[in-house]
Structure formats: C-alpha cells, structure tokens
C-alpha cells in the first residue's frame, strides 16, 4: 500500500482540526444558550422573568408557536441603542415596563411584513406597563427607515435605532439574534422572558394572550 504523501497527511490533520473546532463551537453555543456563561445568566435577579416565562409557555401556540420561553433568563438590562431623541438609552431605562424588543431593517422582507402588526400591537396593548420597542438596524441613516414607516402608516411605534449594529452583536454574543427579525419579550427588571426567531403575527389574539400571560394579566 502506498503511504500517504506529506500534503495528504497535512490536509487530513487540517480536516480533523476543523471538525474538532466545529464540535467545540457547537458545545460553546449550547453552553451560552442555556445561560451558563455566568456573565449574562440572570440567576436570582431574573427570578421574576422565569415566572413570566412559565406563565407564557402554554400560550406559545398558533401564530406564536415558535416563541421560546426562557428556561434560564438572561439579564438584558445593559443592552444599548438610540431612542427617539437620538440619545443612547439602555433596557434598564424601561424599568417597570414589559418590553417587546424587535430588531428589524428595511432590507429584511419579513421585518417589513410584520411591522404593521407590531404597530397594531402597540396601539392595542401599549401603556405605561408595556411597550413595543422596534429597533431599526439600517446603517445608512434614519431617512430610509422613517420613510418606510410613514409609507405603511405606522403611527404608534416610537423610532428606536442602532446604526452601529452593536445591539445585534451584543445579542449574538449570548446566542440570541441569529438573524432578522428577532423579537425578545423582556420583563420590567430587564430580563429575558422568551425569544422569537423570525416573523410573527404580533397583532393576533394568540400573541396578545401570550404577552398578557407573561405580564400576569388574567385571560379575557
């Protein structure tokens, strides 16, 4: 039998190394998703969010069947983006409010499609205790996204933005926001209640029931 040449051996070693790196990366991703990284897991500080997640779980069906209640909620109070006045704010600034945080961009077709539903949800449920916070991630300035919102008649959502995409990067570090749209339900103490990857019909009765359950409101 002919012995492998040195280049062949080297190629095989590279293949095995790449495979090992992939396994390590996958394990690391699971480790973070389960909130085991210590820096972002909420622990006792997010105990109320865990109660909300458990209350929301039976309502993750129909239009919001893909909603993933958090089993170990992450503390997201440090997430930063710009508010309607173009000033930096953090999730901690929404204290005492349940927030539906939505990441979107005009180049994301599913984001554009679900925007009217998010606006309707804000119109129906928005108050001092709840807000839909849709954060635009377009890099070219606010003109295009604001023109789009005006064009489709969005009138109840405040304009939040992050042209730096730092918000997206921070969420990816903790295995959230794998793509757009991503929507995270966040408790009044800034902790993750659950996450939805991809679009949803947020104005549906099922979505409202899930949010109300997470907020501890009785069913209508």
Q: Taking residues 2-18, what's their average pLDDT?
A: 46
DSSP state of 3: P
Helix (H) or strand (E) holding 30: helix 6-33
With a pLDDT cut of 90, the percent of the chain lying above it is: 77
Residues in the chain: 220
Tens of pLDDT, residue by residue over 97-124, are 999 999 999 999 999 999 999 999 999 9
Please determine, for residue 30, whether its predicted confidence score (pLDDT) is greater than 80: no
What's the pLDDT at 15?
Answer: 37
Direct distance between the N- and C-terminal alpha carbons of the chain, in angstroms, rounded to an integer: 77
Q: Taking residues 147-165, what's their average pLDDT?
A: 97
Regarding pTM above 0.85, the answer is: no
Where do the structural domains in the chain lie, given as residue ranges?
1-33, 41-214
Residue 187: is it exposed, middle or buried by C-beta count within 10 angstroms (0-12/13-18/19+)?
buried
CB 71 within 8 A of CB 193: no
> How sure is the predictor about 3, in pLDDT bands with cuts at 50, 70 and 90?
low
Number of other residues whose CB lies within 10 A of the CB of residue 34 = 13
| Distance between CA atoms of residues 108 and 112, nearest Å | 6
Q: Taking residues 34-52, what's their average pLDDT?
A: 71
Per the prediction, the chain carries an average pLDDT of 86
DSSP state of 41: B
Which among 184, 136, 185 has a CA at the least distance from the CA of 162?
136
CATH architecture of 41-214: 3-Layer(aba) Sandwich (3.40)
> How sure is the predictor about 158, in pLDDT bands with cuts at 50, 70 and 90?
very high
Phi-psi region of 76 (alpha: psi -120 to 50; beta: other; left: phi over 0): alpha
What's the pLDDT at 178?
Answer: 87
């Amino acid at each position: 039998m002919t012995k492998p040449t040195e280049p062949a051996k080297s190629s095989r070693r590279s293949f095995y190394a790449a495979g090992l790196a992939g396994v390590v990366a996958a394990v690391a991703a699971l480790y973070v998703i389960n909130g085991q990284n210590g820096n972002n897991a909420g622990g006792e500080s997010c105990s109320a969010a865990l109660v909300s997640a458990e209350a929301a779980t039976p309502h993750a069906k129909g239009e919001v069947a893909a909603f993933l209640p958090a089993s170990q909620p992450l503390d997201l109070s440090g997430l930063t983006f710009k508010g309607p006045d173009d000033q930096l704010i953090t999730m901690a600034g929404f204290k005492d409010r349940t927030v539906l945080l939505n990441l979107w961009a005009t180049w994301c077709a599913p984001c554009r499609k679900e925007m009217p539903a998010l606006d309707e949800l804000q119109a129906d449920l928005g108050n001092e205790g709840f807000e839909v916070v849709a954060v635009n991630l377009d890099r070219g300035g606010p003109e295009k996204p604001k023109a789009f919102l005006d064009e489709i008649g969005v009138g109840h959502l405040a304009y939040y933005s992050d042209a730096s995409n730092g918000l997206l990067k921070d969420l990816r570090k903790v295995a959230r926001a794998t793509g757009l749209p991503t929507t995270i339900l966040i408790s009044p103490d800034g902790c993750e209640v659950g996450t939805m990857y991809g679009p949803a019909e947020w104005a549906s009765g099922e979505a409202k029931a899930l949010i109300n359950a997470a907020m501890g409101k009785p069913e209508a």
